[in-house]
Amino acid sequence: MSGENKKELAAAFVPADIEAPLYKKWLAAGYFKADENSKKPPFTIVMPPPNVTGSLHVGHGLDLTIQDLLTRMKRMKGFEALWLPGMDHAGIATQNVVEKKLAAEGKSRHDLGREEFVAKVWEWKAQSGGAILDQMKRLGDSVDWDREAFTMDPQLSKAVLTIFKRLYDEGLIYRAERIINWCPRCLTALSDIEVDHQDDAGEFVSIKYGDDEINIT
């Protein structure tokens, strides 16, 4: 082989040097875009939207890789495959992240007022969401970026309200009295996943009324 045709191998493989340009070519060629008018059999994965409370972790990496494998396999088998990307506002969790950032500056949401605090939350969404999108692209996720969604997008919010009302009208959602998790600081109900349990030493009182017994802590 002529010495002119030889190419010196790099001392170390740098994935970003190869993967980033290749991903840009894929996007430019439109390989990940789904055609709604296609005659091919459809296949769709709606990405479980990561929360905008921070950045992706190794669990996201595993989950996104599996979804990517399935989507690419279906494309290769002749399906019109759509992998729909998006992010979740995460509600109270995102509010708490922003409040902690304000606390580090010696401020609270009450110091800012409602409108300015909401603006700070949207700023955080743009910052965290941008980092998450960059991570997805570095992973090489074959999503249709033209269809990127956010759980507070107007059309998605309308869909949630529409389905909620439908379930209410059908009696599947109803108001009743139940013991719930309540946050005295946020003045709102919390889901079980948002509660941090802690063991405390205290009294346990048992009161008996005839055949009934009530335990109080």
Q: How many Å apart are CA 190 and CA 26, to the nearest integer?
A: 43
pLDDT of residue 63: 97
Q: What is the pTM of this model?
A: 0.77
Each residue of 123-151: b (16+ CB within 10 Å) or e? Answer: ebbeebbeebbebbbebbbbbbeeebbeb
Q: How many Å apart are CA 131 and CA 60, to the nearest integer?
A: 14
pLDDT of residue 191: 86
Q: Domains in the chain, ordered, with CATH?
A: 30-177 (3.40.50.620)
Each residue of 158-177: b (16+ CB within 10 Å) or e? Answer: eeeeeeeeeeeeeeeeeeee
pLDDT of residue 105: 92
pLDDT of residue 168: 97
Q: Three-state secondary structure along 47-81?
A: CCCCECCCCCCHHHHHHHHHHHHHHHHHHHCCCEE
pLDDT of residue 92: 86
User: Mean pLDDT of residues grouped by 10 in the chain (217 residues)?
Assistant: 67 89 96 96 97 92 97 98 95 90 92 93 92 94 96 94 98 92 88 85 82 74
pLDDT of residue 206: 84
pLDDT of residue 4: 64
pLDDT of residue 7: 72
